[in-house]
Structure formats: C-alpha cells, structure tokens
Amino acid sequence: MSKKVIVITGASSGIGEATAKLLASQGNQLVLGARRADKLQKIVKDIETAGGEATYAVTDVAKLDDVKALAAKAISSYGRLDVWMNNAGLMPQSQFIQGKVDDWNRMIDVNLRGVLNGINAALPTMREQKAGQFINISSIAGHSAHSGSGVYSATKAGVLMISEALRAEEAAAESNVRVTVVSPGAIATELVNSITDEATKSGTEEFYNAFAIAPERVAKTIAFAINQEADTEINEFVIRPSRQVM
C-alpha cells in the first residue's frame, strides 16, 4: 500500500482521532483539523511517538478560509492531498417546538457547510492530481428521522446527497476522485456532549452507555475503503452496534 496524505476534520476526538491514529500507523501522512489546538497537539505527539507522521492546523470547518488553509497545510507539509475526510460534526438534537435555532444553525454550519467547504478546498487539487478520495461522515440518522432528530437528520441526509452528486460528477469527469460515505450508528465518542437539551442528553447518554461501540471500529472501515485499488470505489458503509435496533 502506498503512503497517502490524508486530511481529517474533527480530528481532535472520537472517530476522527481514532481514524488518524490507525491511518498513521499504516504509514500515511496525516493532517489534522479541529478547533482545540491542545487536543490536536497531543494527538500529533502520540502519532509521532508511535513512529508515524502528522501535523495539524487549527480549523473551524464553518469558515471557508480556515478550511482552505488546512488544505494548504497538507500541500506545504507533504506535497499533495490524497484523502479528505469530512468528519467534523455535532448532534444537538431537540424537538422543533423547543425552538433551538442556534443549535439548528450550528449543525447546518458544521455538518453541512463544513462538508461543502471541505469539497471546495480539496477538489481542485484532486482534479489536478487526477486522483483523490473524499470520506464523508453521515449517520444512520441521515437515512431516517425520529422525534428530535429533524435538523441533525437533515444535515446528514444532505451529506448523502452531496456525496452521491459528487461521485457522479467525478465518475463522469474520469478524474479518479472517489467518494465514500460512512453512516455510523451509536459510537462512543464526545458527540453526546454537544446536546444542549438536558433531557435529550441524559436519554442519549443512557443509550450510548448501554450500546455504543468504539470509534476504532469505524476507523477500520475507513481504512478499508482507502486501501482499495484505485479503480474500486466503496460508496457507503452503514456501521452500528450489533444490538442497536434503531
């Protein structure tokens, strides 16, 4: 397997952190983006201590300039950009009647606009290289909605639609840019901390404590998609705990 330059947004915890560590251990060069510099520094150090290569740029994915700077960091550090993982996200679920407009806007800004910013920052370079891959993190909540999940589900369903259109465009252009969506179920990360409604948060915590699986499981599926031959594109994984009903 050849060494790849891989950018991960939301790399400071959870699925992003686990994926960064696994992909670095496989000999790839990692470029990590998120807002918490201290966490990113620590993860880069962990990777280096384990013999891997990584760097980071403090990034708010809602800001296009930050995301473009993250892409530029990959090029200036390692000379190319092979994989862009749009992973940053938050899940402050609540019912519409609660009117948590700030939460709705943050989800749209990060979960949806953040993905578009990532595509905008990375696609021209991938087109030029005639090679590349997007890993876009959706959710099983992007496949169906339930009480309280409306805006989160809408952003994650949006990720599915954006990814499918991008896949079709790149296939038609014969650009060798691949698109993979990962739709996880309950994964034990910091995601629940983003819920601002206390009742929803404690109910979700209880569910996650009983069912959630480790983020390393998701990392393995992402590595599998990245490590396919260049002519083979895995378009979607749905991965959830074996005991998760919905």
> Annotated catalytic sites, by residue?
152
Q: Which is nearer to ligand NDP, 139 or 221 (CB)?
A: 139
Span of 72-80, 89-97, 163-171, 226-234 interacting with ligand NDP by CB under 6 A: 89-97
# residues near ligand NDP by CB under 6 A: 31
What b-and-e string marks burial along 108-136, b requiring 16 or more CB atoms within 10 Å of the CB?
A: bbbbbbbbbbbbebbbebbeeeebbbbbb
Nearer to ligand NDP, 9 or 133 (CB): 9
In 3D space, the residue among 120, 112, 107, 6 whose CA is nearest the CA of residue 52 turns out to be: 6
CB count in 10 Å sphere of residue 220: 14
Q: Which two tokens stand for residue 75?
A: 């090029």
**DSSP of 105-165:** HHHIIIIIIHHHHHHHHHHHHHHHHT-EEEEEE--GGGT---TT-HHHHHHHHHHHHHHHH
Site for ligand NDP in 177-196 (CB under 6 A): 184, 186-187, 189-191
Q: Which of residues 16-75 bind ligand NDP (CB under 6 A)?
A: 16, 34-36, 39, 59-62
- The minimum distance between CB 135 and ligand NDP, in angstroms, equals 11
CB of 192 to ligand NDP, least distance (A): 8
Binding site for ligand NDP (CB under 6 A): 9-16, 34-36, 39, 59-62, 87-91, 110, 137, 139, 184, 186-187, 189-191, 215
